[in-house]
Amino acid sequence: MKYTVITGASSGIGYKTALEFAARGKNLIIVARRFDKLEELKSAIQNINPDLNVIIRTSDLSVTNEAYTLYNSLKEYQIETWINNAGIGESSAVANQNLNKVETMLRLNIESLTILSTLFVRDYSHVEGTQLINVSSALGYAISLDTITYSASKYFVSAFTEGLAKELERKGAKMKVKVLAPAMTETEFGKNASDIKEFDYKANVPMYHTAKQMAGFMMELYDSDKVVGIVDENYEFKLRDQIYLILGA
HEC readout, the chain: CEEEEEECCCCHHHHHHHHHHHHCCCEEEEEECCHHHHHHHHHHHHHHCCCCCEEEEECCCCCHHHHHHHHHHCCCCEEEEEEECCCCCCCCCHHHCCHHHHHHHHHHHHHHHHHHHHHHHHHHCCCCCCEEEEECCHHHCCCCCCCHHHHHHHHHHHHHHHHHHHHHHHHCCCCEEEEEECCCEECCHHHHHHCCCCCCHHHHCCCCEEHHHHHHHHHHHHHCCCCEEEECCCCCEEEECCCCCCCCC
Residue 134 lies in a domain: yes
Would you say residue 218 has pLDDT above 90? yes
The reply to whether 48 falls in a domain is yes
| Full residue range of the structural domain in which residue 91 is found | 2-240
154 pLDDT more than 70:
yes
Structure confidence at residue 30 (pLDDT): 98
Contact 143, 189 (CB under 8 A): no
The pLDDT value given to residue 248: 82
In a domain, 34, yes or no: yes
pLDDT value at residue 193: 58
Confidence (pLDDT) at 80: 98
Residue 247 lies in a domain: no
* pLDDT, average across residues 183-212: 79
Q: How many domains does the chain have?
A: 1
Query: Can you give the pLDDT at residue 249?
Result: 74
CATH number of the domain to which 113 belongs = 3.40.50.720
Q: Quick check: is 245 in a domain?
A: no
Residue 97 falls within a domain, yes or no?
A: yes
pLDDT value for 196 = 72
